[in-house]
């Protein structure tokens, strides 16, 4: 009986002490969690690759789309750029999105997307799909830019334009829109400089926010030179209190602020300074300064004539100066705003453009914008050490049309008769500007003339957008300046 009782306990003890088959038993219990862990690793790796590709596609779409954030095709652009970086059925995934949202000030675009894939081993744990999501935030702004508005302010800019208002009103609205895009809510941006050059047939080179005082004109000694206007030996130039532009003669007390082009009007095509931006000697002419309108040149007329040939031209072409003024040009009351970083300053200058008058001499608008933009004299606000994106926005609604009251004193004739020579001089200046690394953005506004189109496309840095634009009406002009804002903006990922 005792043996019968002890035997079962002995059997159990023997089994308990026997280690054979233990590993198989433990493995049987571990199969399920091991499969789950392997499945989690494999499906997790697939999910990581999916999320990385999804993020890359969103980043690429955001960076590309932000360049044209105001485009009416923005939604299609986002989809297209995303698809280019996230192939259809990538890893047999199902994608939702991308969706996007643009901030109210168009300075930021936020994109989101999700993707789902079927799991493999993780199905054993009850997880049939794996979902991943990604987002991207792209900010855009303007920096490292020197920009000059060169706006036609001839009489035709006071005409009405399709869409309502006058042409100059439309130009002001478009420029204001671009200024707001550049500065946003900031008053100043240290890496942005904007200037303004209004022009018609001549340019007022003064800062009209400062009243001209003839008694405050500074006489500045210089190396002896031959004055190109009256051939007199001279060792000084004159700098008015409201402009850095050196003058060859003392400006009259009622000086309008305008100067004549540095043009010799002789058979020599290499001694003119009208197609150059700096005060210098060109061939045999010392163009170290500019002749102020209405100044006494010592030739007996004050008109700028420097010889019998010019005196004859003067008698033939010169119009009587306005009563009570020594001005002989169509001088605008609007002067130059040099490069500066203040939003309110440039906006005030734009708001003041209210008095279009006179003829159209495009070379003067472009050459003075170039002078404002470069770091050398007479305007020296631009940085000489950095290399920003430099651009001139040249806007006109008309073809070149000279007159006896233009900056060339009628040397090329009147209107149609002057056009060929003025076009040639404009082309020469444009070539020099572009050779200096400056981009010319040419806008043909409210004028469908094919000759003007050819001219503007030729002088622009490119024959199509973003360098040449045709804006037939005020709405298109606004879109044009939006496109320009897109072009000069930089974009960066912030998330």
Q: Output the pLDDT for position 398.
A: 97
* 147-176 residue pLDDT tens: 999 999 999 999 999 999 999 999 999 999
* 371-411 residue pLDDT tens: 999 999 999 999 888 878 999 999 999 999 999 999 999 99
Between residues 44 and 482, the one the model is more confident about: 482
Q: Output the pLDDT for position 336.
A: 98
Q: How many CA atoms lie within 13 A of 184 on its CB side?
A: 15
Q: Output the pLDDT for position 7.
A: 57
Strands 192-199 and 145-152: parallel
Q: Output the pLDDT for position 28.
A: 54
* 282-307 residue pLDDT tens: 999 999 999 999 999 987 544 444 33
Helix axes of 362-373 and 416-435: crossing angle, nearest 10 degrees: 20
Q: Output the pLDDT for position 309.
A: 38
* 137-148 residue pLDDT tens: 987 777 789 999
Within 10 Å of residue 163's Cβ, how many Cβ atoms?
14
Close Cβ partners of 259 (under 8 Å, ≥ 6 residues apart): 202, 203, 205, 245, 247, 290, 291, 292, 293, 407
d(CA 266, CA 305): 12
* 227-286 residue pLDDT tens: 999 999 999 999 999 999 999 999 999 999 999 999 999 989 899 999 999 999 999 999
Q: Is the pLDDT of residue 431 over 90?
A: yes
* 7-40 residue pLDDT tens: 555 554 554 565 555 565 555 555 556 555 566 6
Q: Would the pTM of this model clear 0.85, i.e. be above it?
A: no
Q: What are the extents of the domains in the chain?
A: 24-140, 145-208+322-493
Q: Output the pLDDT for position 477.
A: 98
d(CA 105, CA 237): 48
Q: Output the pLDDT for position 246.
A: 98
Q: Output the pLDDT for position 3.
A: 55
Least confident interval from 121-135, 201-215, 471-485: 121-135
Percentage of the chain modeled with pLDDT above 90: 66
Tell me phi and psi for residue 372, to 5 degrees: -70, -35
pLDDT band at 308 (very low <50, low <70, confident <90, very high): very low
Between residues 412 and 141, the one the model is more confident about: 412
d(CA 170, CA 159): 11
Q: Output the pLDDT for position 489.
A: 84
* 61-107 residue pLDDT tens: 888 888 788 788 889 999 999 999 998 889 889 999 999 998 877 77
Q: Output the pLDDT for position 332.
A: 97
Q: Is the pLDDT of residue 315 over 50?
A: no
d(CA 446, CA 472): 4
Right CATH for 145-208+322-493 from 3.40.710.10, 3.40.50.410, 3.40.50.300, 3.30.230.70 = 3.40.50.410
Which one, of 238, 193, 179, lies nearest residue 372 by Cα? 193
Strands 94-102 and 108-118: antiparallel
Say whether 22 sits in a helix, a strand or coil.
helix
Q: Output the pLDDT for position 324.
A: 41
Between residues 447 and 384, the one the model is more confident about: 447
């Amino acid at each position: 009986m005792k043996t019968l009782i002890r035997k079962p306990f002995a059997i159990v003890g023997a089994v308990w002490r026997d280690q054979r088959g233990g590993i198989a038993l433990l493995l049987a219990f571990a199969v399920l969690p091991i499969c789950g862990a392997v499945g989690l690793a494999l499906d997790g790796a697939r999910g990581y690759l999916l999320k990385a590709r999804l993020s890359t596609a969103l980043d690429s779409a955001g960076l590309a789309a932000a360049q044209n954030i105001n485009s009416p095709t923005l939604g299609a652009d986002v989809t297209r750029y995303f698809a280019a970086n996230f192939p259809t059925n990538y890893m047999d995934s199902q994608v939702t999105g991308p969706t996007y949202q643009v901030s109210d000030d168009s300075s930021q675009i936020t994109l989101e997307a999700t993707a789902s894939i079927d799991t493999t081993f993780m199905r054993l744990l009850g997880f049939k799909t794996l979902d991943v999501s990604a987002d991207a935030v792209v900010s855009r702004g303007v920096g490292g830019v020197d920009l000059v508005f060169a706006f036609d302010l001839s009489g035709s800019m006071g005409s009405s334009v399709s869409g309502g208002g006058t042409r100059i009103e439309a130009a002001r609205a478009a420029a204001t829109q671009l200024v707001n895009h550049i500065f946003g809510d900031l008053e100043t941006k240290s890496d942005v400089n904007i200037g303004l050059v209004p022009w018609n047939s001549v340019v007022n080179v003064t800062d009209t926010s400062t009243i001209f005082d003839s008694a405050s004109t500074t006489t500045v000694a210089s190396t002896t030179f031959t004055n190109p206007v009256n051939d007199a030996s001279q060792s000084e130039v004159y700098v008015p209190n409201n402009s850095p532009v050196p003058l060859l003669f003392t400006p009259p007390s009622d000086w309008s602020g305008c100067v004549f082009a540095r043009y010799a009007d002789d058979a020599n095509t290499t001694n003119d300074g009208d197609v150059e931006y700096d005060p210098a000697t060109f061939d045999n002419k010392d163009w170290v300064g500019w002749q102020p309108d209405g100044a006494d040149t010592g030739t007996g007329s004050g008109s700028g004539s420097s010889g019998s040939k010019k005196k004859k031209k003067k008698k033939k072409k010169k119009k009587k100066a306005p009563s009570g003024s020594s001005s002989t040009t169509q001088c605008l009351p609007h002067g130059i705003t040099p490069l500066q970083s203040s939003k309110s300053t440039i906006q005030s200058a734009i708001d003041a453009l209210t008095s279009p008058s006179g003829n159209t001499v495009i070379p003067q608008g472009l050459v003075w914008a170039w002078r404002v933009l470069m770091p050398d004299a007479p305007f020296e606000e631009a940085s000489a050490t950095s290399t920003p994106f430099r651009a001139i926005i040249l806007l006109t609604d008309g073809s070149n049309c000279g007159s006896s009251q233009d900056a060339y004193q009628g040397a090329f004739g009147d209107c149609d008769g002057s056009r060929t020579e003025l076009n040639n001089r404009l082309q020469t200046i444009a070539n020099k500007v572009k050779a200096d690394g400056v981009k010319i953005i040419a806008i043909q506004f409210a004028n469908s003339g094919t000759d003007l189109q050819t001219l503007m496309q030729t002088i622009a840095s490119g024959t199509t957008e973003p360098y040449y634009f045709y804006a037939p009406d005020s709405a298109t002009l606004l879109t044009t300046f939006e496109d320009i804002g897109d072009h000069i903006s930089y974009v960066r990922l912030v998330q």
